[in-house]
Amino acid sequence: MDVDLLKYINERLAKLDILDILREDINALCASLKFSQCQIDDLRKENTTLKGTVDSIHSKVEVVQRENKLLKESLLDVQCRSMRNNLIFSGIPENDNSRGCEDTV
């Protein structure tokens, strides 16, 4: 009976050792989970900040694109007006009298 009691006590001690190991593993997992949660929170904050920055840059790019389009249209208008005054007609003799150009044409 003493041998059976010793076996029983040894089995219980072995189970307690296993429980201690499991407790340590669970504590380590909890610490790891807390660390991971802190990292996730930090990444969420950073992501929110970056989204705001991207939205701001996107709106600035839209403004620059509109300004670029207006500048291109303005440049084209200036080029067309400049070219309008630089017409050259071939086959018509040039003369120094600039007032007679309309009559010559």
pLDDT at position 2 is 84
Cα distance between residue 63 and residue 66, in whole Å: 5
CA neighbor of 34 nearest in space, from 46, 44, 26? 26
DSSP 15-45: HHHHHHHHHHHHHHHHHHHHHHHHHHHHHHH
Question: What is the band of 52 on the pLDDT scale with cuts at 50, 70, 90?
Answer: very high
Question: What is the band of 90 on the pLDDT scale with cuts at 50, 70, 90?
Answer: confident
The average confidence (pLDDT) of the chain is: 89
pLDDT in tens, 11-45: 999 999 999 999 999 999 999 999 999 999 999 99
Residues whose CB is less than 8 angstroms from the CB of residue 90 and which lie 6 or more positions away in sequence, other chains included: none
Task: Spell 10-30 as b/e; 16+ CB within 10 A means b.
Answer: eeeeeeeeeeeeeeeeeeeee
